[in-house]
Amino acid sequence: MTTHRLLPADAAEGRQGRSEPKRVLWVSCVAHALHDGYTDLIYVLLPLWQTEFGLSYGALAVLRAVYGGTMASLQLSAGRLSQWIGRRATLALGTLLAALGYAVAGLSGSLLSLCVALAISGVGSSTQHPLASAAVSQAYGARARGPLGIYNFAGDLGKAALPAAMSFLLVWMPWRHALWTVAGAGLVAAVAIALLLPSQARPAPARHAQEHGRGLPASNTGFRLLLAIGVLDTAVRMGMLTFLPFLLQRKGISPAMLGTALALVFIGGAAGKFLCGWLGERLGLTGTVLVTEGGTAACIVAVMLCPLWPALVLLPLLGLMLNGTSSVLYGSVPDMVAPDRTERAFAVFYTGTIASGAVSPIAYGLLGDQVGLVAATFATALTALAIIPLAWVQRAHMRSESPAGR
């Protein structure tokens, strides 16, 4: 009997509907891992570029800011472009541009050409966060919190894998050839996105506003306070990661070991996504911020004071604390907005935090040129402590806004 050939259309559609969100999730995870890996690959390259081109801390921070600035400034534009040519085409094209930028960086012979190359790559990476996170949120609807956690975790895997891969490649080839190799990986990912990402995710039922307090619009005070916390948290993370390679160099780390050391930080950051998600469920946003930002400040000071090998042991814990707050902040964005404004809220939040990631290394880099590496790194620890009072204000505001406040 061949009843399987007479499968009703609605049953076939249901099977497709169940598989399509998974495909959206895994393709988005690949994109997130690659783009976040490209973003943090710069930290391995900064000491090499400093040696080859004779750059100051301020100039190195400008390089990091060029990438982050172009990526941040075009987040909302990426959403508008996707409405014109489609989400799949926009994300595939962005991935191709991100890879092309690193290929051009491998041909660079000056600070100016490096800036141009990183700007190209930053333009490409501006497509990933708003489009991929919105695709996952749209595909899973009310069940999106868990998949978004997997998506965020994938980004940290990329942050760990690509610097480690670059460190390995640098043992066997010049940095220019290594860059062309990782650019080739981006080309493969762009093709995979173009072939596998559904052109439009099938919308799942959205969470009702009552499930998130009052479902306030993205312009409310609670969302703005959440964004402020995210901006400062990103500043701490980017400032510390900018200085960390040079702190480790002062302690005597080898260039080949540096990529592995950064991978330890990013592995700890990936673990922080899971642990702090668990903490967020039990302690809430404010309690988690107390733990992670206080721990961040303590770990920064400890890494500064310790010799090389104890500092290396502390790096995974430092990564956990640096990334811990962000996992709770991103998961809280849908809680603060009306369901129909979730996509724009994500774009605004990513714009603010990525802009902070672009500007803060310049500020800390210039501070480092004036007061020295150790004092500027200590300033990142003070910034982490300054986040804690903001979290208390945000908690008080949300309690006053929602009758069912936490």
Q: Give the residues of the chain that fall short of pLDDT 50.
A: 1-16, 201-219, 403-406
- Give the pLDDT score at 406: 42
Question: Residue 65 contacts by C-beta under 8 Å, 6 or more apart in sequence?
Answer: 358, 359, 361, 362
In angstroms, the CA 181 to CA 318 distance is: 29
pLDDT tens digits, 135-178: 887 787 766 666 777 787 788 788 878 888 888 888 888 888 98
Can you give the CATH number for the domain in which 342 is found?
A: 1.20.1250.20
Give a yes or no: residue 376 inside a domain. yes
- What's the sign of the alpha-carbon dihedral 293, 223, 232, 263? positive
- Give the pLDDT score at 2: 44
- Give the pLDDT score at 60: 81
- What's the sign of the alpha-carbon dihedral 122, 126, 129, 132? negative
Closest CA to 334 of 197, 146, 87, 150: 146
Give a yes or no: residue 11 inside a domain. no
In angstroms, the CA 348 to CA 362 distance is: 22
Calculate the alpha carbon distances from 268 to 15, 157, 158, 273, 281 in Å. Answer: 37, 10, 13, 9, 20
DSSP3 helix / strand / coil % (the chain, rounded to 5): 85, 0, 15
Give a yes or no: residue 33 inside a domain. yes
Question: In the chain, how many H helices and how many E strands?
Answer: 13, 0
- Give the pLDDT score at 260: 83
- What's the sign of the alpha-carbon dihedral 34, 22, 76, 207? negative
CB 343 within 8 A of CB 217: no
Return phi, psi of residue 387, to 5°: -75, -30
pLDDT tens digits, 211-261: 443 344 444 777 888 899 999 999 999 899 889 998 999 998 887 788 788
Give a yes or no: residue 295 inside a domain. yes
- Give the pLDDT score at 376: 92
Give a yes or no: residue 1 inside a domain. no
Give a yes or no: residue 311 inside a domain. yes
- Give the pLDDT score at 301: 94
Per-residue tokens: 185: 């990986």
Domain that holds residue 352: 16-401
CB 194 within 8 A of CB 85: no
Our count of domains for the chain comes to 1
In angstroms, the CA 192 to CA 52 distance is: 35
- Give the pLDDT score at 293: 92
- Give the pLDDT score at 400: 61
Give a yes or no: residue 36 inside a domain. yes
Give a yes or no: residue 249 inside a domain. yes
- Give the pLDDT score at 215: 40
The residue with tokens 């990334």 is 323
Closest CA to 402 of 252, 210, 224, 148: 210
In angstroms, the CA 279 to CA 149 distance is: 14
- Give the pLDDT score at 317: 94
- Give the pLDDT score at 299: 95
